[in-house]
Amino acid sequence: MKTPACYIRSMQRIIALFDIDGTLLRAGGAGRRAVELALSEVLDELDEDVSLHSVEFAGRTDPWIVRAALMQYGVAADDDLIDDVLRRYVGHLPRELERASAFEVLPGVLSLLSELSNRDDLVLGLGTGNTETAAYAKLERGGLDSFFGFGGFGSDHAERPELLRTALHRGLERTGAQMEDARVVVIGDTPHDVAAARAIGAHCVAVSTGGYEASTLQAAGASLVVSDLRASAVRSAFDRGTPE
């Protein structure tokens, strides 16, 4: 039988973009503590202990969190000050991560990432509000850093849909695929992840390991909600051509 000489069937590429906190791991309060230490250095003239328990962290980007924290202390947050706090934050983070006895990689994460990383039709990326440095510090603590070669980060953009768009473009560059040949799957744990995924036209797997109820994630518009990443249904989200 004669084989067509110049016939190459385009293969659908899957770009998986994982959130970190509450999705892949729990940092055991290390992030919050490192932000508090950074802020206490910048705000030391206030002469008070910095506590950020009224600032919502889940699903937010690092620059958003720092801006909200500065506003809580009545400080006008310009970009230079936010960058200064973030630099101090990533300086404190490794030590706080080491000290965080409650740090944990969430159930099913290691086997899912191991499985997906062996596929040649899929690239593993990040879509996280962490700055790039903070993201890799957390992943390294959990032994997960080598799975991820690219992503969109809080250091790229303070708004989650925009950092996901950045991650998507980087994923397309890595695969050489066109947008129409890509299936984009965002995996996150908050309604912010779901909203951002929808904003870029991605499928969204929401996992309720971050504290949000399954019903809340469903109502936000997740394509699939699972209790943790051991769920077999998660694998189907990475099948090529799976309808929404």
Nearer to Mg ion, 172 or 188 (CB): 188
Which residue reads 């310009």 in tokens? 78
- Least distance from Mg ion to the Cβ atom of residue 244, Å: 22
The tokens describing 123, both together, are 């690239």
Contact predicate 57/84, CB 8 Å: no
Nearer to Mg ion, 21 or 62 (CB): 21
Nearer to Mg ion, 122 or 217 (CB): 217
CA distances from 219 to 15, 108, 204, 206, 244 (A): 24, 24, 12, 11, 15
Q: Which stretches of the chain bind Mg ion, using CB under 5 A? A: 19, 21-22, 189
CA distances from 21 to 74, 76, 145, 151, 193 (A): 28, 28, 14, 15, 11
Contact predicate 231/108, CB 8 Å: yes
CB atoms < 10 A from the CB of 241, how many?
7
- Least distance from Mg ion to the Cβ atom of residue 85, Å: 20
Residue number of the CB atom closest to Mg ion: 22
- Least distance from Mg ion to the Cβ atom of residue 76, Å: 28
Contact predicate 73/55, CB 8 Å: no
Nearer to Mg ion, 29 or 75 (CB): 29
Nearer to Mg ion, 62 or 189 (CB): 189
- Least distance from Mg ion to the Cβ atom of residue 208, Å: 11
- Least distance from Mg ion to the Cβ atom of residue 210, Å: 5
